[in-house]
């Protein structure tokens, strides 16, 4: 018989009051038989403590609670999530972005999968990407994900809003979210890599989260952050050298960001490095197209997002 331990769900937020309320409601209305506490961590914004007593969000039941916190660590998403992890008390912890919503069965299905594998520490599930009025289900058709799998491919189906983990494994095992990554970019991917270094990640191959992609997320000021963050990731994980296709993928992303940041020479360098490792790496060719002025980075991203994918 499956046991349903308490779960603390960490929702880092900043200036998204209406979307935040929809997120909290979806979590608290889960059909999960155990206790759920939502830890809302306000990052670089004024905390709304009225959420704790707002029964309209679904917190009226004795097994549903809301706790409002502030980010006391490094400003940004990584620090906010870590503020929640440190404050958590439940056996299991989960993440959800403040513009995403959970399906009613999501948490119950994931916890069942986790408890069925006593040595497992981390479980994910599929997502349904919503962009520009269209829906794009993304479900990974496998139940076990290794470090090599994640080095080869980011596996964007494993979105941070799907993460459910044993709190002890985080605090005493693979550790908190990395706060040193420039701009907190790809901190969720690095977190997954570190967890998979310790133990394979379990996956529930069905949609559990509705992920909202907004056109407002395109802003060129991030390109310099990406250019700094991804080389940091390659340095931190020398294992990429043993998976050339994965190394080429990241180098292609660096090339694209560098081209979008109007650094043509550097972009060509990174694109060439990517193509040496994988001659058909598509990101390298897209980077060269942007560097040559044949296409704009925003246009490329719009086309990809219309299919539920990113660069």
Q: pLDDT tens-digit profile of 12-37?
A: 999 999 999 999 999 999 999 999 99
From 193, 216, 239, give the residue that closes a domain. Answer: 216
Question: Is residue 1 one of the residues assigned to a domain?
Answer: no
201 and 251 part of one domain:
no
Q: Which CATH number covers residue 60?
A: 3.90.550.10
Question: Is residue 311 one of the residues assigned to a domain?
Answer: no
209 and 76 part of one domain:
yes
182 and 82 part of one domain:
yes
Question: Is residue 88 one of the residues assigned to a domain?
Answer: yes
133 and 226 part of one domain:
no
| Residue 204: half-sphere exposure toward Cβ, Cα within 13 Å | 25
57 and 195 part of one domain:
yes
65 and 82 part of one domain:
yes
- Short-list 198, 155, 158, CA closest to 175: 198
Question: Is residue 186 one of the residues assigned to a domain?
Answer: yes
106 and 160 part of one domain:
yes
Q: Residue 270 belongs to what domain range? A: 218-305
From 216, 248, 268, give the residue that closes a domain. Answer: 216
What are the per-10-residue average pLDDT scores of the chain (311 residues)?
Answer: 86 94 96 96 94 80 93 94 98 97 97 94 96 89 96 95 98 96 90 96 98 60 86 96 97 96 95 97 96 92 83 81
| Residue 260: half-sphere exposure toward Cβ, Cα within 13 Å | 26
Q: Which structure tokens are listed for 292?
A: 């040559």
**Count of domains for the chain:** 2
pTM of the full structure = 0.93
- Cβ neighbours of residue 24 under 8 Å, at least 6 residues apart? 11, 38, 40, 51, 57, 58, 66
Question: Is residue 299 one of the residues assigned to a domain?
Answer: yes
Q: What is the pLDDT of residues 205-247, one digit of tens each?
A: 999 999 988 755 433 448 989 999 999 999 999 999 999 999 9
Q: Using CA atoms, how far apart are residues 208 and 265, in angstroms rounded to an integer? A: 43
145 and 70 part of one domain:
yes
Question: Is residue 310 one of the residues assigned to a domain?
Answer: no
pLDDT of residue 59: 66
Coil/strand/helix, residue 64 = strand
Question: Is residue 297 one of the residues assigned to a domain?
Answer: yes
Distance of CA 131 to the CA centre of its chain: 17
236 and 209 part of one domain:
no
223 and 211 part of one domain:
no
212 and 224 part of one domain:
no
From 191, 216, 241, give the residue that closes a domain. Answer: 216
Question: Is residue 244 one of the residues assigned to a domain?
Answer: yes
- For residues 37-58, one letter each, b for 16 or more C-beta atoms within 10 angstroms of the residue's C-beta and e for the rest, the string is bbbbbbbeeebeeebeeeeebb
212 and 233 part of one domain:
no
């Amino acid at each position: 018989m499956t046991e349903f331990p308490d779960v603390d769900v960490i929702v880092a937020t900043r200036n998204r009051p209406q979307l935040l309320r929809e997120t909290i409601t979806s979590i608290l209305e889960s059909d999960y038989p155990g206790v759920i506490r939502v830890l809302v961590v306000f990052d670089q914004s004024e905390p709304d403590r009225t959420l704790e007593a707002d029964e309209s969000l679904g917190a009226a039941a004795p097994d549903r609670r809301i706790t409002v916190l502030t980010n006391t660590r490094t400003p940004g998403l990584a620090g906010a999530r870590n503020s929640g992890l440190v404050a958590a008390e439940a056996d299991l912890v989960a993440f959800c972005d403040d513009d995403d919503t959970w399906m009613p069965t999501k948490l119950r299905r994931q916890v069942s999968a986790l408890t069925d594998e006593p040595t497992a520490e981390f479980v994910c599930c599929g997502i349904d990407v919503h962009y520009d009025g269209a829906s794009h289900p993304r479900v990974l058709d496998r139940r076990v994900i290794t470090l090599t799998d994640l080095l080869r491919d980011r596996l964007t189906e494993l979105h941070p809003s799907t993460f459910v983990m044993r709190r002890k494994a985080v605090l005493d095992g693979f550790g908190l979210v990395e706060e040193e990554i420039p701009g907190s970019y790809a901190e969720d991917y690095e977190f997954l890599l570190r967890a998979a270094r310790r133990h394979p990640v379990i996956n529930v191959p069905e949609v559990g989260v509705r992920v909202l992609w907004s056109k407002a997320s395109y802003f060129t000021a991030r390109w310099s952050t990406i250019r700094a963050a991804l080389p940091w990731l390659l340095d931190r994980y020398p294992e990429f050298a043993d998976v050339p296709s994965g190394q080429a993928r990241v180098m292609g992303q660096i090339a694209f960001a560098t081209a979008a940041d109007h650094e043509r020479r550097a972009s060509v360098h990174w694109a060439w490095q990517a193509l040496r490792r994988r001659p058909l790496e598509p990101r390298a060719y897209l980077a060269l197209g942007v560097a040559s002025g044949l296409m704009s980075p925003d246009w490329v991203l719009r086309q990809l997002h219309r299919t539920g994918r990113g660069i």
